[in-house]
C-alpha cells in the first residue's frame, strides 16, 4: 500500500488507518532506493485555510467549509485565534462573499475562543469588545464542524500577543525596549512584549495549553512577532530589545548587553557589538521556541507547532531559521506573490521556496502560502500551487478566504489537479 495523501473529497482516514498507512510507508521506505524515497510524500499534502470569527458569524461555518472544500479542496482549517488590528479584507476593496458586511476592522489582539482563565498567570487573553463576537466560542464552532468533515484543525496566534493599550499600560514592564529605552514602536499598532520575560513565556505556554485542553488542536500556528524588524539588522533602525530581562538573560550567557547598548548608541555598526547583539536576538528567539515546543509537546505529543515565516528577511527580525528549526515542527512560508497580479514575479517565489528547501533539508515540513486575494488570478493561483509542488513543499495555505473570490478558490483546486496531487478532482462547486 502506498502512502496515499488524505482524500480531499471524502472524510480523512481515521487515526488507526493513518497509523497503518504511516507504518506501511515506513516499511516501504526501508526497501526503496534513495531516489524513490526522496520523491515519496511523507505525509498527506495539506491544503489549509485560515478563518476569522466574523466570517464564521456572517457566512455560517457550514457554508464556509462547503466553499473551501468544494472549490479549493481544503483539508485543514484554522481559526485566527488572536488577531492584530488590520483592515479586512486586506488593503482595499470589499468582502467578495460576505452577506453581512463589506469590510471589517479587526480589533487589537482580541481572543476569539473562550479561554479557561484559570490556566493563565499575570497575562490573560482579552475578548472582543463586540457582544456578537465575544458571546460565542468560535474555536468550538469551527473545531466541531471541521472534525465532522475529517479536516485538520488548528489555531493561530497572530503578530501581537496583547493589545497596544495593555502593552503600554499594565504590562509596560514586559514590553520591549529599543536601543534608546523607549517602547519598541516600529509599527504604530504594535508594542511587542519581550520573549525573554518569564511572564511572557508563561503566557504563550498557557495559551497553547488552553487550546490543547479545550479543542485538542492538531496544530498551533505562531505568527508572533518576537522581535520587531530592525532594517539591515541595525538596532538604530527598528526593533529591540534592551530591556532588563534581556540584560539578565544576556548575563546568564556571558554577555554584557548594557555595554553593547552603550557601544551601539555611539556607533550602530560597531563590531563585535553589533554581531553579538544580532546573535543574542537569534538565540533568544530560538530559546523561546525551544521551551515553548517542549511545553506544548508535553501536553500533546503529536501536535504540530507551526511557525509562520511572515517575512523574506528573517535575520532582520531576529529569526535565524537554522537556530529555530529544531524547535518548530513545520513552517508556513508567507509569500503572497500571486496577489500582485504579475506573472513575471512568480519565478522569484520559486527561487525563494527552492532556497528555503535547500537550506533546511528535505525533512522539515513546509507549507507554501498562496495569495488568493487582491490582483491574484485563477491562473496565477494555479501556478503558485504547482510551484509549491515542484519545489517540494508539503502543502499550500490560502491567504486568505475572506478576500478570495470563488474563481480564485477554484484556482487552488485547478493547481492541485495540474500538479497531480493525488485524490484531487476538478472543482465540484
Residues 265-294 that bind Zn ion (CB under 5 A): none
Closer residue to Zn ion in complex, CB, 241/396: 241
Is 257 one of the binding residues for Zn ion (CB under 5 A)?
Answer: no
Is 241 one of the binding residues for Zn ion (CB under 5 A)?
Answer: yes
Cα dist from 53 to 14, 125, 345, 386, whole Å? 28, 16, 33, 30
Closer residue to Zn ion in complex, CB, 145/194: 194
Phi, psi of 50 (to 5 degrees): -85, 150
Nearest-approach distance from CB 272 to Zn ion, in angstroms: 20
Closer residue to Zn ion in complex, CB, 196/337: 196
Size of the site for Zn ion (CB under 5 A): 6
Is 194 one of the binding residues for Zn ion (CB under 5 A)?
Answer: yes
Strand partners, 49: 77, 398
Nearest-approach distance from CB 229 to Zn ion, in angstroms: 16
Residue 97 CB burial class (10 angstroms; 0-12, 13-18, ≥19)? middle
Closer residue to Zn ion in complex, CB, 128/196: 196
Is 6 one of the binding residues for Zn ion (CB under 5 A)?
Answer: no
Distance of CA 416 to the CA centre of its chain: 22
Nearest-approach distance from CB 194 to Zn ion, in angstroms: 3
Q: How many residues does the chain have?
A: 429
* Window contacting Zn ion (CB under 5 A); options: 13-21, 72-80, 136-144, 234-242: 234-242
Instruction: Please state, in angstroms and rounded to a whole number, the distance separating the CA atoms of residues 207 and 27.
Output: 38
H-assigned helices in 32-60: 34-39, 53-59
Nearest-approach distance from CB 162 to Zn ion, in angstroms: 15
Reduced to 3 states (helix: H, G, I; strand: E, B; else coil), residue 409 is helix
Nearest-approach distance from CB 101 to Zn ion, in angstroms: 39
Is 167 one of the binding residues for Zn ion (CB under 5 A)?
Answer: no
**Identified binder of Zn ion from the candidate list 246, 331, 388, 427, rule CB under 5 A:** 246
* Window contacting Zn ion (CB under 5 A); options: 91-99, 147-155, 235-243, 286-294: 235-243
Nearest-approach distance from CB 248 to Zn ion, in angstroms: 9
Instruction: Please state, in angstroms and rounded to a whole number, the distance separating the CA atoms of residues 346 and 340.
Output: 10
Cis peptide before 272 (omega within 30 of 0): yes
Phi, psi of 74 (to 5 degrees): -70, 135
Beta strands in 84-143 (DSSP E): 87-88, 104-105, 110-111
Closer residue to Zn ion in complex, CB, 184/386: 184
Is 161 one of the binding residues for Zn ion (CB under 5 A)?
Answer: no
**Identified binder of Zn ion from the candidate list 82, 243, 273, 309, rule CB under 5 A:** 243
Closer residue to Zn ion in complex, CB, 196/214: 196
Closer residue to Zn ion in complex, CB, 45/277: 277
Cα dist from 400 to 122, 192, 376, whole Å? 33, 24, 11
Q: Point out which residues bind Zn ion (CB under 5 A).
A: 194, 196, 241, 243, 245-246
Amino acid at each position: 500500500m502506498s502512502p496515499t495523501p488524505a482524500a480531499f473529497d471524502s472524510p480523512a482516514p481515521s487515526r488507526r488507518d493513518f497509523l497503518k498507512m504511516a507504518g506501511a510507508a515506513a516499511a516501504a521506505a526501508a526497501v526503496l532506493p534513495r531516489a524513490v524515497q526522496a520523491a515519496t510524500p511523507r505525509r498527506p499534502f495539506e491544503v489549509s485555510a485560515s478563518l476569522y470569527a466574523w466570517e464564521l458569524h456572517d457566512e455560517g461555518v457550514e457554508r464556509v467549509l462547503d466553499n473551501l472544500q468544494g472549490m479549493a479542496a481544503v483539508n485543514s482549517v484554522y481559526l485566527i485565534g488572536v488577531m492584530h488590528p488590520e483592515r479586512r479584507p486586506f488593503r482595499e476593496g470589499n468582502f467578495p462573499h460576505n452577506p453581512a458586511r463589506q469590510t471589517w476592522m479587526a480589533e487589537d489582539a482580541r481572543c476569539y475562543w473562550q479561554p479557561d482563565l484559570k490556566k493563565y498567570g499575570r497575562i490573560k487573553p482579552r475578548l472582543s469588545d463586540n457582544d456578537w463576537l465575544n458571546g460565542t466560542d468560535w474555536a468550538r464552532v469551527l473545531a466541531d464542524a471541521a472534525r465532522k468533515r475529517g479536516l485538520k484543525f488548528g489555531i493561530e496566534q497572530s503578530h501581537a500577543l496583547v493589545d497596544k493599550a495593555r502593552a503600554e499600560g499594565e504590562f509596560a514592564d514586559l514590553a520591549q525596549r529599543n536601543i534608546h529605552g523607549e517602547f519598541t514602536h516600529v509599527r504604530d499598532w504594535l508594542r511587542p512584549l519581550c520573549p525573554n520575560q518569564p511572564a511572557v513565556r508563561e503566557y504563550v505556554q498557557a495559551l497553547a495549553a488552553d487550546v490543547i485542553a479545550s479543542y485538542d488542536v492538531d496544530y498551533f500556528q505562531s505568527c508572533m512577532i518576537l522581535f520587531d524588524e530592525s532594517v539591515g539588522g541595525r538596532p538604530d533602525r527598528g526593533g529591540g530589545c534592551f530591556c532588563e530581562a534581556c540584560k539578565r538573560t544576556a548575563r546568564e550567557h556571558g554577555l554584557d548587553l548594557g555595554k553593547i547598548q552603550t557601544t551601539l548608541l555611539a556607533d550602530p555598526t560597531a563590531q563585535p557589538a553589533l554581531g553579538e547583539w544580532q546573535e543574542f536576538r537569534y538565540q533568544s528567539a530560538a530559546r523561546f521556541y525551544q521551551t515553548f515546543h517542549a511545553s506544548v509537546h508535553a501536553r500533546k505529543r503529536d501536535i504540530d507547532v507551526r511557525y509562520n515565516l511572515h517575512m523574506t528577511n528573517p535575520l532582520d527580525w531576529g529569526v535565524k531559521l537554522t537556530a529555530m528549526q529544531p524547535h518548530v515542527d513545520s513552517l508556513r512560508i508567507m509569500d503572497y506573490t500571486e496577489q500582485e497580479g504579475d506573472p513575471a514575479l512568480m519565478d522569484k517565489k520559486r527561487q525563494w521556496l527552492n532556497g528555503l528547501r535547500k537550506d533546511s533539508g528535505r525533512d522539515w515540513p513546509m507549507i507554501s502560502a498562496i495569495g488568493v486575494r487582491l490582483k491574484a488570478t485563477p491562473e496565477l493561483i494555479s501556478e503558485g500551487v504547482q510551484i509549491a509542488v515542484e519545489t517540494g513543499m508539503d502543502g499550500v495555505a490560502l491567504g486568505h478566504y475572506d478576500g478570495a473570490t470563488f474563481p480564485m478558490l477554484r484556482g487552488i483546486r485547478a493547481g492541485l489537479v495540474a500538479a497531480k496531487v493525488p485524490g484531487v478532482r476538478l472543482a465540484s462547486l
